[in-house]
Amino acid sequence: MSTGQLIGNGIAAFLTLCIFSFLYKDNPFYKFAERLVAGVATGYFTMLLFWTNFIPKVWEPLYERHEIIYIIPTILGIIMWTRFSKKWAWVSRYSIAFYIGIGSGVAVTLALYTYLFKQLQATIAFPISMDVAGINQLLVVVAVLASLIYFFFSTPHKGAFGVASKLGIYVIMIGFGAGFGLTVMGRIALLVNRVIFLKGYLIALFGG
């Protein structure tokens, strides 16, 4: 490591330890790191927005290519600044309305496609048979039906319906447990990575 890298990594190692210190309890070091990165991250992402979005999407079309149409979104954007005023803050609703209108319009078809159609098709595409795959498919179908029944809002969960919805919540909980177990792996890996970083830095610092 060069001296520059040693200093850079020194800062990184210090910040790493600041965050780890939180495990013991809240302390000034953690608070310092927390507040530092709140500023750094905001600065970082604002600049990213500025260079990769503002310049190519607002500045260049308007100022260099004179595409008049971009005046509309620019005004919608500037309208958001009325939020700084108590009296005019309501005007920002126009931009928010546009934003939410676009979002929910896209969501209707997208949700039906990715969540409903795709999942439905995947559930019914495979035949039930007497081999392992076929029996698994049967179990999946039964489990999907039971879990769907658990999410019924307008029917009391009683009688046969109650039994099915109970089976449903059991399936969901086993599924969640499995998901939890699988996740543990990735999280340990992250810690391993940090420990390797600290170890590497110490070796570089004191010569291993």
Partner 1 sequence: MSNDTNRNFWEKLLMIDRRWIYLTIGIVVFVPLLFRIGMPVYVTTEVQNVYDYIDALPEGAVVMIPCEYDPATMAELRPMAYALFRHCFSKNLKILSTSLQIEGVTLVKDDLAMIAAEYGKEYGKDYVFLGYKPYPSVVILNMGENFRKPFPKDYYGNNLDSLPMMKGVINYSSCACIVNINATSGADYWINYANGRYKAPLALGVTAVMATDYYTFLASGQIFGLIGGLKGASEYEKLINHTGPAARAMDVQSIAHTVIVIFIVIGNVAYFASKRKMRNF
Partner 2 sequence: MDRVKFLIPTFILFIIAISCVPAAAADIVADSAIAILPPNVSDVIVSDKPNDPGGTLVVEWILPDSAALAAMPIKGVNIYLSGNHDGPFELITSLPKSALHYECSDLQDGESYYFKVTATANGLESDGITSAAGIPSGQWFNTERLPILIVVILFSITAITFIIKARGGYDFYVRPIAGIKAVDEAIGRATEMGRPILYVPGLGSAADVATIAAFTILARVAKKVVEYNTRVIVPNYDPVVMAICQEVVKEAYASAGKPELYDPKDVYFITQDQFPYTAAVNGVMLREKPATNFYMGMFYAESLVLAETGFVSGSIQIAGTDQLVQIPFFVSVCDFVLMGEELYAASAYLSREPQQLGTLKAQDLGKVTVVILIIIGVILSTIGMSGFANWFNVG
Partner 3 sequence: MRREVPLLIVFLFGLFMIVQYFIPHAKFAFWYQEFNNWTIIIGIFTMIVGIGSLLSVHYSKIRFRQEGWGYSLVTIVALFGMAIVGLLGGTEGDLFLKLYRFGLSPVTATMFSLLAFFIASAAYRAFRARNVISTLLLAAAVVVMLGRVPIGEILGGWLPRWLQLPNIADFLLNVPNVAAKRAIYIGVGLGVAAVSLKIILGIERTWLGGDGGKR
**5 is a site residue for partner 1 (CB under 8 A):** no
Contact stretch for partner 1 (CB under 8 A) within 32-40, 92-100, 150-158, 189-197: 189-197
Closest CA to 136 of 150, 149, 146, 126: 126
Segment near partner 2 (CB under 8 A); pick from 5-13, 54-62, 116-124, 192-200: 116-124
Measured CA to CA, the distance from residue 26 to residue 37 in angstroms comes to: 16
SS3 category, 119? helix
Q: Are 182 and 167 in contact (CB under 8 A)?
A: no
CB of 129 to partner 3, least distance (A): 15
Q: Which does 128 bind (CB under 5 to 8 A by kind): partner 2, partner 1, partner 3, none?
A: partner 2
Residues 30-49 binding partner 3 (CB under 8 A) are: 31-33, 35-49
**Whose Cβ is closer to partner 2: residue 9's or residue 137's?**
137
Work out what residue 196 binds among partner 3, partner 2, partner 1, none; the CB cut-off runs from 5 to 8 Å by kind. partner 1
When asked if residue 151 is in the footprint of partner 3 (CB under 8 A), the reply is yes
Size of the site for partner 1 (CB under 8 A): 28
Q: Quick one: CA dihedral 104, 109, 112, 114, positive or negative?
A: negative
Among 48, 96, 116, 202, binds partner 1 (CB under 8 A): 48
Task: Return the amino acid letter for 126.
Answer: F
Contact flag: residue 161 with partner 3 (CB under 8 A):
no
Closest by CA to 27, choosing from 17, 40, 41, is 17
* Burial letters 150-188, b for 16+ CB under 10 A, else e: beeeeeeeeeeeeebbebbeebeeeeeeeeeeeeeeeee
Residue 50 near partner 3 by CB under 8 A: yes
Separation between Cα atoms, residue 29 and residue 55, nearest integer Å: 37
Q: Footprint of partner 1 on residues 117-176 (CB under 8 A)?
A: 118-119, 121-122, 125-126
- Does 126 engage in binding with partner 2 (CB under 8 A)? yes
Kindly state whether residue 136 participates in binding partner 2, applying the rule CB under 8 A: no
